[in-house]
Amino acid sequence: MKIAVTGANGQLGQDVVKLLGAKHEVHGLGREQLDITNEIECLEVLKALKPDVIIHSAAYTAVDLAETEVDTAYRINADGTRNVAVAAEEIGAKLCYISTDYVFDGTTATAYKEDDSTNPQSVYGNSKRVGEQHVQALSSKYFIVRTSWVYGIHGANFVKTMLDLAATRDSLKVVSDQYGSPTYTVDLALFLEELIQTDFYGIYHASNSGVCSWYEFACAIFEESGVKINVDPCTTEEFPRPAPRPRNSAMEHGAIRANGLEDLRPWREGLKAFLKELEESR
């Protein structure tokens, strides 16, 4: 299977290229190889490659900065995704678009299902939702994969930030009233590999199984890595950010189960595997 990966230098993209490249012909396309905001370039590059599948993980992900860099966020997440979708349809490729829990407002008391109404509250969430709509309108063979709280060996993320802070402090405050599912890039990449080999098209919620708060996640990070530090819970209001976060971004994995695909392992197991990978990389 020939696979093109946009955003190949990103946190998820690098693991997708590495893990899927072991069994498939994978072409990693970073910003230098493909400017997704250039419609003509998108068509030319992807037509020349003729991949069977495009995993579109390129995105503007600076959630808080997006509140002021509105045009840039939409140009990449909405217009760029439209360009990729048009090119995918032109060459008959399957399109797998990586989306986000931020398409929801986080006000539900239960986990979000794939067909629940979206109601993004931030520029980032809105721009990603418009990207989803372009994919749905323009691609006849699409997977939209919404994920959450992503971390991996490449780039900055919550796990690395917590460990870095613990090296210089003896106590931390972490938000305890936002809930979601941490997702290890390796587990997500392996799920994507299984998914793109099917024709079970549609929307998927894919995160490591189980739900926790950021506070519980931080406590687990320190417990699993043997770090002694005082962690105190705090409210969202005590830690204001420019972009609103969904209070509850737990997502049901109904589509994964309905199609007989393998669900992602519990988030704490994913965390243990990541900490081991992090230790071995040092």
State the pLDDT confidence band at 119, using cuts at 50, 70 and 90. Answer: very high
Q: Has residue 276 been placed in a domain?
A: no
Q: Which regions of 113-260 does DSSP assign to beta strands (E)?
A: 142-147, 150-151, 171-175, 179-180, 183-184, 202-205, 212-213, 230-234
State the pLDDT confidence band at 204, using cuts at 50, 70 and 90. Answer: very high
Angle at 34 between CA 32 and CA 37, to 5 degrees: 115
Residue 239: what pLDDT? 87
Helix axes 158-166, 267-281, angle to 10 degrees: 60
Q: Which two tokens stand for residue 225?
A: 């890595």
| φ, ψ at 158 (rounded to 5°) | -60, -40
Q: Give the integer Cα–Cα distance in Å for 141 and 110.
A: 30
Provide the CA 102 distance to its chain's centre, in angstroms: 10
Q: Has residue 198 been placed in a domain?
A: yes
DSSP helix/strand/coil, 142: strand
Q: Has residue 38 been placed in a domain?
A: yes
Residue 60: active-site member: no
From 97, 112, 124, 204, the catalytic residue: 124
Give the single-character DSSP code of 113.
Answer: P
Residues whose CB falls within 8 Å of the CB of residue 226, separated by 6 or more in sequence, listed in order: none
Q: Has residue 281 been placed in a domain?
A: no
pLDDT at 282 over 90: no
Q: Has residue 93 been placed in a domain?
A: yes
Provide the CA 281 distance to its chain's centre, in angstroms: 22
Query: Which amino acid does the sequence have at 241?
Result: R
Task: Kindly report, residue by residue over 11-20, the tens digit of the pLDDT.
Answer: 999 999 999 9
| CATH code: domain of residue 59 | 3.40.50.720
Residue 61: what pLDDT? 96
Q: Has residue 173 been placed in a domain?
A: no
Q: How many domains does the chain have?
A: 1
Please give the model's pTM, rounded to 2 decimal places: 0.97
Q: Has residue 16 been placed in a domain?
A: yes
State percent of the chain over pLDDT 90.
99
State percent of the chain over pLDDT 70.
100
**Residue 50, class by beta-carbon neighbours within 10 Å (0-12 exposed, 13-18 middle, 19+ buried)?**
exposed
Domain that holds residue 96: 2-157+182-209+248-265
Which stretches within 22-58 are classed as H helix?
39-49
Task: Kindly report, residue by residue over 134-178, the tens digit of the pLDDT.
Answer: 999 999 999 999 999 999 999 999 999 999 999 999 999 999 999
pLDDT at 256 over 90: yes
Q: What is the mean pLDDT of residues 252-271?
A: 98
Q: Has residue 81 been placed in a domain?
A: yes
